[in-house]
Amino acid sequence: MPALPPYDPHNIFARIFRKEIPCNQVYEDEYVLAFHDAFPKAPVHVLVIPKQEGYRSFDDFSANAPADAIAAFFRAVGIIARQLGLEKEGYRLIANHAKNGGQEVYHFHMHILGGKPLGAMVTV
Ligand code: AMP
């Protein structure tokens, strides 16, 4: 059984970057779109996604995306965190992969979380 289902072009984040459904946008460039999480887990909770279909998770993106897309993605995450004013007090990045990561949406995305001390990294 594969770790991930096949890429679904109708997943919610693909529909958001194609502008078929709205989001609370905070940043966009040629490669990425960033928007507030609809169910925030911290005072600041932003999702960053590549504006390209096909990459289901971090595992998929890091293995298969072109180097320029990977570089642009991570450069943008830093820009967005600074735009949100998080770099001085700190923030956390999360990319959930597959079942054990608790991934819900199978279009690669990075969570940027901040705005207060976030405590223990993982509670089990
Ligand atoms: P993950 O568990 O890493 O796949 O995270 C998916 C995230 O997407 C969750 O934090 C959800 O709250 C968030 N989410 C789901 N639907 C939307 C939406 N329409 N707009 C913004 N965030 C969403």
User: 52: CA distance to ligand 1 center in Å?
Assistant: 17
The CB of 105 under 6 Å from ligand 1? The reply is: yes
The verdict on the CB of residue 95 being under 6 Å from ligand 1 is no
Catalytic (active site) residue 10 = no
In single-letter form, the type of residue at position 33 comes to L
- Closest atom of ligand 1 to 109 CA is 3
Q: Which residues pair with 32 in a beta bridge?
A: 50
Ligand 1 atom with the shortest distance to the CA of 45: 10
Residue owning tokens 């940043």: 27
> How many CB atoms sit inside 10 A of residue 60's CB?
19
pLDDT (0 to 100) of residue 79: 98
Gap from CA of 87 to ligand 1 centroid (Å): 23
Q: What is the pLDDT along the chain (124 residues), one digit of tens a residue?
A: 567 899 999 999 999 999 999 999 999 999 999 999 999 999 999 999 999 999 999 999 999 999 999 999 999 999 999 999 999 999 999 999 999 999 999 999 999 999 999 999 887 7
How far is 103 from 108, CA to CA, in rounded Å? 9
- Please state the pTM of the whole predicted model: 0.97
Distance 105 CA to ligand 1 centre (A): 7
pLDDT for res 3: 78
Predicted local confidence at residue 76, as pLDDT: 98
What's the confidence (pLDDT) of residue 1? 52
Name the amino acid, one letter, at 107: H
Residue with the smallest CA separation from ligand 1 atom 16 is 38
Would you say the CB of residue 3 lies under 6 angstroms from ligand 1? no
Specify the pLDDT at position 62. Answer: 98
Sign of CA dihedral 113, 87, 17, 21: positive
